[in-house]
Chains A and B, each alone.
Chain A
Amino acid sequence: MKILVAVKRVIDYNVQVRVKEDGTGVVTDNVKMSTNPPDDNAVEEAVKIKESGKAKEIVAVTVGEDKAQETVRKALAVGADRGIHVKVDGTVEPLAVSKILQKIVDKEKPDLIFMGKQAIDDDCNQTGQMLAALLNWPQATFASKIEVKEKSLEVIREVDEGLETIEVNIPAIVTCDLRLNEPRYASLPNIMKAKKKPVEQINASDLGVDTKQRIEQIKVEEPPKRKAGIKVASVEELVQKLKNEAKVI
């Protein structure tokens, strides 16, 4: 079995994001970038499945500018076998990303595709479902447990009401939740080894996918700031304030 894992480079989740003064976006210069956190879970799950003997090969793929390759290298350092970097500059919307991934799937013919359920930059939560639609594959989104069976996966999904279990036929797409597993850290020797693993470079334009933006970003602004609050000295004061000042209890 072959697993394709899609990873995205985003502003690190610990960074306090700042809006650019001219309203064209957020500040990314000299800001720490990392792999989108649930994409790390996707890589980890693929590696665990390979370690269990149920998968033979893991291919990590990313779509983005030159530096996006770092996320592929990181996936290689924790156990992916080879990488694909589809180069494209500027914003690529989930629809275009899923069309690019569709081309990669046509070529690679994986049995499973894993990725994070959502990217923490645009918070779109679309790519996995869109790719599933384009391929006419089943989708298991927000996965917190995956069991690999002969010709299917049994997946537990985190939904608003609690947990849902579904069975999807292979080939399938799974989008991973943060609780799926605990992503491992790459050891230094493995980071060195990863540098020797092959990463194929492809230009998005060579795949014949139109990546033109369909959504115009008119402006980006800071959300309204909350008024500074106060510290109360005691529980009694807190309850009095809630009762008589805020009038919420």
Chain B
Amino acid sequence: MDALGPEEWTAIWLSLRVAFVATLAALPVAVWIAYVLARKSFPGRQVLNGLVHLPLVLPPVVTGYLLLVLFGQQGPVGAFIYQTFGITFAFRWTGAALAAAIMAFPLMVRAIRLGFEAVDPGLEDAAATLGASRWRIWFTVTLPLVVPGVLAGAILGFAKALGEFGATITFVAAIPGQTQTIPTAIYGLLQVPGSEPAVVGLVIVSVVLAMGALLVSEWLARRMAKRLGGK
């Protein structure tokens, strides 16, 4: 991996950090939204469903632009968060994580929702007749059974966050050491003649990371199936 200079390694580590933070931050919200969409009926359910899926169908550049408007230093949400928590998003790695999280969110919700739909609500009724509180039912019955779906959603979200390009570059640009992730680094290198070795190196790293994520999720899913005593 001599082809990869310090700038490339920085991009790799930054990508991993951005993808981890984005996945971890989005996961609880995705689980909650997926549960609500799978189980509850309420007015505005279709609107919520549409909102969740919006980043999947909008051009990423548009999503990036909307993030810039809303979460930029002067944006209404961005200003509020800066004043309350002291976190800025614009042109920071946190912004890259936010963009990645928003883009990965619909994929995570879809996978986790399938997981919830596979859990028989009858089991929750059974737990209720056995005297278990709603929280106990959630943590002892629903959540353990939905773990395969959550895992699938997390891996999918992680892979998507790792590869996010359009919204990221629009929202936070590609500042080396600050917001330059693997995809934006590859794009940047492609503009410079003679940098093919570095590009190939980053491409290989991308493939390895993606394959690794898939293998880990397969392994975890098999272990879960074994625990449930499936045939």
Partners in one complex: no
Residues of A participating in the B interface, judged by any CB pair closer than 8 Å: none
Q: Chain B residues in contact with chain A, CB under 8 A?
A: none
